Structure 1
Amino acid sequence: MQEGNDSLNSMDIYEVLKHLPHRYPFLLVDRVIDYKVNDYLTAIKNVSYNEPCFPGHFPHRPVMPGVLILEALAQATGILAYKSTAQTPTEKSLYYFVGIDKARFKQPVVPGDQLTLEVKLTRTLRGIWKFDGLACVDGKVVCEAELMCAERDV
């Protein structure tokens, strides 16, 4: 989703932890590769056989559940929303995943894959942020969806 950007804005895991309230086993963003406030964010999630979902989700052929791929995209939207507003999560206010449309899954995600999460802000209206999201493995789309998030008091 980046277009001719020579200088990348990246975030390591420590910066990601400042911008997401999630922790193990539900933190699904390992690193942000690039972002532009009020525009797009590209992140990665390394999929490991040690993920807590795999022993019970097709134990003989582990597959990452689609809802976790969507949650990873939602976490990427939260990071972009926080970066765009120059805020971080607080005990009083959080960005919540509030909607999903047009979710499609193209191929399974398995241990050893690296998910590239791409979210692009398409609209903000009355506190609802809407994004187009793509999850890819090796350049191939594995999931796409329209996602919405909103800041709410806790």
Structure 2
Amino acid sequence: MAVLKLNIQQIMEILPHRFPFLLVDRIEEVDPGNKVNGYKNVTINEPFFQGHFPGHPIMPGVLILEAMAQVGGAYVTVVDKIEKDRVTYFVGIDKARFRKPVMPGDVLRMEMDLLSRRRGIYQFQGNAYVGDTLVAEAVLKATFAKK
């Protein structure tokens, strides 16, 4: 098993996303066989907390899914050496469940397990945790296409 650690600068070299839509702060380990773990430090300074919800800030579930997808996209880009002229597109989200709210001060850990690579479609089982508590899960499907 090879281990790869990516800091925010390295992630920004791989992913096209930028603030406020870059939702991954670091990637701690990549198992080239099928697994990647990424982290998002959730702070009160996130722009979405102004409206979601005033007085009771909760990270939107769709942004948790997007953060998981960014971790998976970074994995595929590194491991499968995806060309820089490609962009990632969601092609499906299945079995999405939100178990607990994610709030400012939480560290969101996203574990992405590659389920399949078929005809350019990557399918991941994504689980997001705060500490040891499962907060969200989904099967995410994406592909890469020329910009």
Task: Output the amino acid matched with 1:58.
Answer: F
RMSD value, Cα:
1.2
Q: Deviations over 1:95-145 (max 9, x none)?
A: 222210000000000000000011010101111000000000011100000
Q: Match for residue 25 of structure 2?
A: 30
| Secondary structure in 1 matching 2:50 | coil
Q: Deviations over 1:63-117 (max 9, x none)?
A: 0000000000010110011012123533xx2122221000000000000000001
Q: Match for residue 131 of structure 1?
A: 124
TM-score w.r.t. structure 1 length? 0.91
Task: Output the amino acid matched with 2:112.
Answer: V
Q: 2:77 aligns with which of 75, 82, 91?
A: 82
TM alignment of 1:1-154, pairs within 5 A = 8-87=3-82, 89-90=84-85, 93-154=86-147
Deviation at 1:8, TM superposition (A): 3.4
Task: Output the amino acid matched with 2:144.
Answer: E
| Secondary structure in 2 matching 1:41 | strand
| Secondary structure in 2 matching 1:53 | helix
| Secondary structure in 2 matching 1:129 | strand
Task: Output the amino acid matched with 1:147.
Answer: L
Q: Deviations over 1:3-57 (max 9, x none)?
A: xx6x632111111111100000000000001002241100100000000000101
Identity %: 44
C-alpha distance in 2 between matches for 1:18 and 1:88:
12
TM-score w.r.t. structure 2 length? 0.95
| Secondary structure in 1 matching 2:43 | coil
Contact 1:38 1:81 in 2 (8 A): no
Aligned residues: 147
